[in-house]
Amino acid sequence: MTRAAPFILITAAWSAGIWFASQFPLPVWFAASLAFGALVIVITLIFARQSYDTIWAAALVMLIASGAAWYTARTTLPDHTPAEYNGRMVVVEGVIDDDEPDKRPDITYLRVHVRRIVVDNAIARPEGIVLVRADNSIDWRYGDVVRAFGVMDAPPVFADFDYRDYLAQRDVHAWISLPDQVLRIGADQGNGFWAALFRYKAALRASAQQIMPAPESALLNGIVIGDASEIPAGITNAFQRTGTAHIVAISGFNVSIIVGMFVMLLGQFLGRRMVAAISMPAVLLYMLLVGASGSVSRAALMAVIMLFGRVIWRRAFTLNSLFAAAFILLLIDPRSLFDLSLQLSFTATLGLALYSDRLHDAVQAWLQQHMRRRKARLWAGLLADVLFSTVAATITTMPLLLSVFHQLSLVAFLANALVLPLQPPAMILGIVAVIAGVIHVPVGAAIGLLSYALLTATLRIVEWMGAWPWAAVPVYDFGAPQAIAYYVALGGITAAMSIKSNIRQILLVLIKRRLGVIGVAVVVVLLASLGAVYWYQRPDGSLHVAFTGKGAFVQTPAGRQMVFAGSGGVPALMGRAMPVWDRSIDVLLLPQRNDTVRGDTLPIMQRYHADVVIQPEGDDEPSAMLDAWRSQAATQSMQVVTVPMGTRIELEPDVVLTVEKRSKGAIGARLSYGGVTFELVGDAEVISGTIGSADVVFVGVKGAKASVLNVAQPRMVVWADAGGVPPELDHSIRAFALRDVNTVEFVTDGKTLWTR
């Protein structure tokens, strides 16, 4: 492997270092010292003429340490960032020079590179980017100078999506979600190259919109320039349900078509090496044009590596090229390791490289037993084009898709077999039509007629199959542990398939001779693992109250569970805290009766059964979320109730939950165990006088003013996710801001209270 595909080991070691640093933060100097020390050892081993394997082992250690050091360095924030002013009213001035505006049907997201921030009549000049959500009253462009007025805060963490982490990977740690006013006070302040590239991209986007109607034009923009923002939500959902969402996103499939176009057009006039040399910068330019996402960058770099192999008369090894492209991306930005688009693109290509030919050969061998050789090859070739690639990619991407989207498409193979053959001509003709439309719209429209027909057929097939009730089934209990187990098993099977037959026979003999010993060892390891899990997750006799986002999770001394609903990572918190065999909670309390809170609780209801669901009194406005929420409650036979204020629920002896009124239309709870009391307010507004004598108050940015808390004098205050601790709060009250610490857990035996 070190000779035929060295980048497999290099990339694996570098990625291991990145992952380790992400889980166990290290000082930059410490990780860098380890890397330097390992480098010295490698050089020493080389001059000492040690064995090849010894040098490689030391080099891999160096790569692990270097990956950790580089990740730590790239994720260490500057000394002075916009995030320091989160939770405060500010005036932000800066330039849209980091990326083009992200235009949606009703709003536009602006990545503003900060020049200065005015807060409390003082001017600060932090280093960083602020995301501003503006309306579409201004045609925002790259290079615009922006002045935004409003409250700046940390991005939110939703129940089923960590938006804060998503933006942090893109260097955004602060945003203004509801600005009072956003003005354009200047223009043309960006880089000239990027400005020209974005103008050309805008011209292509406008051309597609002019030469054919929506939604076909939106799909064309998605497959040509990577802009799928105008595709309606219903159609996007249909693509996801049918397992064809990869068609909408730019990927290796699209890049291969671009390379094929260059080879076909230039190959008539130039030699193979010259065509490859010209295609490399063209592919990189296309990568920049469509946005250089993880999947596009992987595909483009892999194509460049293979084209470079043509230039120097070397045939590229697919697996080595794949891992080399991944290594380059991780070298540029180590946070790419956690980019879902790169993960899906990488695993899909890995599946194609490992299994596509195997499937083709196996099916062809089977067909040759039932028909003539020539006919068998023909049918195997047809199946390879429409089916084998989908099956091979699905083998390696399915765990990621299940753990992220929580649904399994039952029609993916059939849907892909029907629509994939339509995509190459649709994209090629669409590119030609869009470029022609920039010059003359009627000509572009005429050229695009066939592309329009193919795109229409794609949409009709996807919408038709996506509407089937059984097209996709929900899978809620598939997470990281299951995905890891799947990949370990798949790796073992693949390795076994790759071992030469004589070695495989020897291994089988050894296994048969030692079958009893192996069986006993497996049983012992399994029982020990289950025992360790039970011991770690058993009730410990203390009350645990953990806060994250705008919600809370409670475990009683005997192991009962209660959830105070709110946005954030409550489902993830439950997954870590609850025993793996326990799929039910005793009480689920909704503090408010609206679609936002229902959306926060739906992922919990899909994974766990709630014995009692408590919500405030009131009427509900009809909505799709309400229908989905009620359907889920009915499916799991959950008891949804409203209870009078002051109702006491004894979760177990000495652990009492009291339902209390907060602001209009909102309820909260007082949780008591022995002499320790928690007041759960969340994002509602607390009524003065209702939180007195509490040890811990959990309150949102809108919930309580510092003056109310100063009068109540709780021992501690946990500030829900969106808000920071107000400076007016009495300094004798210990305060935690979940925006900064993510999760706070309190543990008590009814007398003593301590935090984790």
DSSP codes of every residue in 314-367: -PPPHHHHHHHHHHHHHHH-GGGGG-HHHHHHHHHHHHIIIIIHHHHHHHHHHH
Pairing of strands 145-152, 88-95: antiparallel
Distance separating alpha carbons of residues 701 and 699, to the nearest angstrom: 7
pLDDT in tens, 272-281: 778 778 878 8
Q: What is the mean pLDDT of the chain?
A: 82
Check if the beta carbon of residue 2 is closer than 8 Å to that of residue 314: no
Structure tokens at 631: 């359907």
Q: Is the pLDDT of residue 481 over 90?
A: no
Region for residue 750 given its phi and psi (left: phi exceeds 0; alpha: psi -120 to 50; beta: otherwise):
left
Q: Which of 250-254, 343-347, 445-449, 545-549 has the lowest mean pLDDT?
A: 250-254
Q: Is the pLDDT of residue 533 over 70?
A: no
Question: Which has more confidence, 307 or 202?
Answer: 202
pLDDT of residue 354: 83
Which CATH class, in words, describes the domain spanning 82-190? mainly beta
Query: How many CB atoms lie under 10 A from the CB of residue 17?
Result: 29
The values of phi and psi at residue 638, to 5°, are -85, 140
Percent of residues, the chain, with pLDDT higher than 70: 88
Name the residue among 676, 639, 417, 442 with its Cα closest to residue 543: 676
pLDDT of residue 527: 75
Check if the beta carbon of residue 667 is closer than 8 Å to that of residue 645: yes
Distance separating alpha carbons of residues 643 and 367, to the nearest angstrom: 67
Q: Is the pLDDT of residue 689 over 60?
A: no
Query: How many CB atoms lie under 10 A from the CB of residue 373?
Result: 10
Going along 700-751, which residue ranges are E strands? Answer: 716-719, 734-737, 743-748
Going along 556-647, which residue ranges are E strands? Answer: 561-564, 584-589, 609-614, 639-641
Distance separating alpha carbons of residues 573 and 552, to the nearest angstrom: 9
Distance separating alpha carbons of residues 455 and 338, to the nearest angstrom: 32
Q: Which residue shows structure tokens 């250089």?
A: 292
- Which amino acid makes up residue 344? L
Tally the C-alpha atoms within 13 A of residue 46's C-alpha that lie toward its C-beta.
9
pLDDT in tens, 374-391: 776 766 666 665 667 778
pLDDT of residue 568: 72
Burial 161-179 (b: 16+ CB within 10 A, else e): ebebeebbeebbbbbbeeb
Mean pLDDT of 22-35: 78
Percent of residues, the chain, with pLDDT higher than 90: 10
Distance separating alpha carbons of residues 304 and 284, to the nearest angstrom: 8
- Which amino acid makes up residue 250? I
Check if the beta carbon of residue 92 is closer than 8 Å to that of residue 147: yes
Q: Is the pLDDT of residue 284 over 90?
A: no
Q: Is the pLDDT of residue 339 over 80?
A: yes
Distance separating alpha carbons of residues 486 and 5, to the nearest angstrom: 24
pLDDT of residue 506: 57
Q: Is the pLDDT of residue 106 over 60?
A: yes
Pairing of strands 667-673, 655-661: antiparallel
Distance separating alpha carbons of residues 241 and 409, to the nearest angstrom: 6
Structure tokens at 120: 């409390």
pLDDT in tens, 213-232: 888 888 888 888 888 878 88
Mean pLDDT of 698-727: 76
- Which amino acid makes up residue 608? Y
CATH topology of domain 543-755: Metallo-beta-lactamase; Chain A (3.60.15)
**What is the pTM for the complete model shown?**
0.75
Which residue blocks in 114-215 are alpha helix, DSSP H?
Answer: 163-168, 192-211
pLDDT in tens, 429-441: 888 999 999 898 8
pLDDT in tens, 612-643: 999 888 888 888 888 888 888 888 888 888 88
